[in-house]
Amino acid sequence: MRVPGIVFASEALLPEVAEDEALQQVVNVATLPGIVEASYAMPDVHWGYGFPIGGVAATDVERSGVVSPGGVGFDISCGVRLLLSPLDSTDIRAHLDALMDELDARVPKGLGVGGVWKLADERELTALLRGGSLHAVASGFGVDADVARCEDSGVVADADLTAVSDRARQRGFSQVGSLGSGNHFLEVQVVDEILDDMVADAFGLRRGQVCVMIHCGSRGLGHQICSDHVRKMLEVMGSYGIVVPDPQLACAPVESPEGRAYLGAMAAAANYGRANRQALSAAVRDAFGAATGTRNLDLLYDVSHNLAKLEWHDLEGERRLLCVHRKGATLALPPGHSELPDDLRDVGQPVFVPGSMGTESYVLVGAASGGAFSSACHGAGRTMSRHAASRLVEGTALRRQLEEHGIAVRASSARGLAEEAPFAYKDVDEVVATCERAGLARRVARLRPLGVIKG
């Protein structure tokens, strides 16, 4: 290990952290060339590909630091956005079933092709891979105000389309504006409790307000890009004298041709993921219009939790350019940060932490400390594999249980529903409380689910 491993966990979470291979992966990440400060693990940490999910690590670009696709994962730019409606829970009660039916009909989900946005040709895909949310809005899938409330203003610069394989483009062509499967979801929620009045007011949150959380990523395109570049880095690591304890940590120097090619392809996938969520937002607004008569939902923020970003950080008394890997961890910019929109700069960046299906989710805000390279947790974190969860409950029974608790469910697969059972995840209350005690982000509001759309 070149640096320590630091795990943010409470006593209640430690047994779950220690039960799988996540801690060994924290150790493995600490061996990467050029890594600085620490190999971090968020409170929702669990086993992943190469890096643990919930892992954060930064390498020094100018001192032979590497970039590792395993530190981003297969679902590049998987992230969360929150749309705020003018409606209260009392307004929505009579329309909830109709709204869920509209959302179910308008939001493509599950494995395979099909998306809200039917691309005309390869040139339009190219424009999307370069333009992200900005191009989506220009194509009619949103309003200008949406772009201002996206991380990086909705566009990751320096996308290199020559580093995106034909197979990746083929997989992504027909999936723009779709949820996919696994833990991805669209959830209608109500603000159940305000925990920080000042920040909630700045965010436009109020108790009883109906909102919509969208969690999805770059679908097959991002998966293929990760696969392609892991393979390339495995081929060249030896020529750079790099040895890693796990081939899933395949990497190359950031400034190498392979490192730059991956970052360029990753940027294209990140733009795809953001355009994907933007297209889904348009479908949500249309569904609300059809079911409730209002489609005026404002975007609070959109942030990714699977990215490697080149960022300047103060380290050991000097300003250094770092490649910060966040895998299952979200950027959590502190108050005053120059990259925040003007109307959020004084309070900090919104951070979204979805709970397990059927439990509460949270809105947090980046803390002043900016710890772990301004990073925070991204969800509750699994404690049980999908296969194990599906052995313990049937999807139809789980759906019935959720509906008995007042949560409307629309899902394309009973098995997929069972795989996402709430008992397969950590206690989200404990996760966010631990994040706050560690000084990574502060709780602003708690959101209770009213209805969920699953792939």
Tell me the catalytic residues: 378
CB atoms within 10 A of CB 403: 12
Nearest to 129 by CA among 164, 179, 153: 164
Say how many C-beta atoms besides its own lie within 10 A of residue 19's C-beta.
Answer: 13
Three-class secondary structure of residue 352 per DSSP: strand
User: 3-state SS of 268-311?
Assistant: HHHHHHHHHHHHHHHHHHHHHHHHHCCCCCEEEEEEECEEEEEE
Alpha-carbon torsion, ordered 300, 304, 305, 310, to 10 deg: -130
Q: From 104, 116, 105, select the one nearest 174 (Cα to Cα).
A: 116
Q: Please tell me the distance from the alpha carbon of residue 269 to that of residue 228, in angstroms, as a whole number.
A: 13
* Three-state DSSP state, 353: strand
Count the Cβ atoms, other than its own, within 10 Å of residue 339: 13
Contacts of 219 (CB under 8 A, 6+ apart): 75, 171, 172, 175, 178, 180, 272, 276
Give how far the C-alpha of residue 315 lies from the chain's centroid of Cα atoms, to the nearest Å. 27
Quote the CA–CA distance of 36 and 51 in Å, as a whole number.
16
DSSP single-letter state for residue 379? S
d(CA 37, CA 52): 17
DSSP one-letter code for 382: B
Residues 13-20: contacts with CB within 8 Å, 24+ apart? 13/43, 13/426, 13/427, 13/430, 13/431, 13/434, 16/46, 16/381, 16/383, 16/426, 17/41, 17/45, 19/383, 20/46, 20/47
- State both tokens at 120: 């005309």
Query: How far apart (Å, rounded) are the C-alpha atoms in residues 68 and 47?
Result: 16
| Distance from the Cα of residue 231 to its chain's centroid | 24
Helix (H, G, I), strand (E, B) or coil at 349: coil
